[in-house]
């Protein structure tokens, strides 16, 4: 896994990852259940942008994929993305724990 070597970014990443995991846990299912494609799109767009800023390009691309499902109102595929995105963040969290700067 390739993460930023910038010490400032690496210092902020654990909290960033934990916050996203909490947001996914608290918001994702509700967005799907309510069939709220606009808010799901906004959630995915924020995911994409913030992950690109932190150098988590692989997760940002998952956000782009989720944006497409929200736009298409493809709720089944969107729901499947929850585990994929959560697992990607967990991988980053584990990597950070095992590979400190």
Please write the tens of the pLDDT for every residue from 39-61: 999 999 999 999 999 999 999 99
If you ran DSSP here, which 8-state letter would residue 28 be given?
A: I
What sign for the dihedral angle of Cα 72, 26, 4, 96?
negative
Rounded CA separation 57/2 (Å): 10
Burial 29-50 (b: 16+ CB within 10 A, else e): eebbeeeebeebbebbeebbeb
List of domains in the chain: 7-98 (1.20.120)
Q: What is the CA radius of gyration of the chain?
A: 14
Task: Give the pLDDT of the chain (101 residues) as one tens digit per residue.
Answer: 788 888 999 999 999 999 999 999 999 999 999 999 999 999 999 999 999 999 999 999 999 999 999 999 999 999 999 999 999 999 999 999 998 87
| The model's pTM | 0.94
What pLDDT sits at residue 100? Answer: 81
């Amino acid at each position: 896994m390739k993460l930023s070597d910038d010490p400032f970014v690496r210092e902020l990443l654990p909290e960033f990852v934990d916050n996203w995991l909490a947001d996914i846990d608290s918001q994702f299912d509700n967005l799907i259940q309510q069939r709220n494609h606009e808010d799901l799109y906004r959630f995915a767009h924020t995911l994409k942008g913030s992950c690109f800023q932190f150098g988590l390009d692989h997760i940002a691309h998952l956000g782009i994929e989720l944006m497409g499902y929200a736009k298409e109102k493809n709720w089944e595929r969107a729901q499947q993305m929850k585990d994929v995105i959560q697992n990607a963040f967990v991988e980053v969290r584990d990597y950070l724990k095992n590979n400190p700067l």
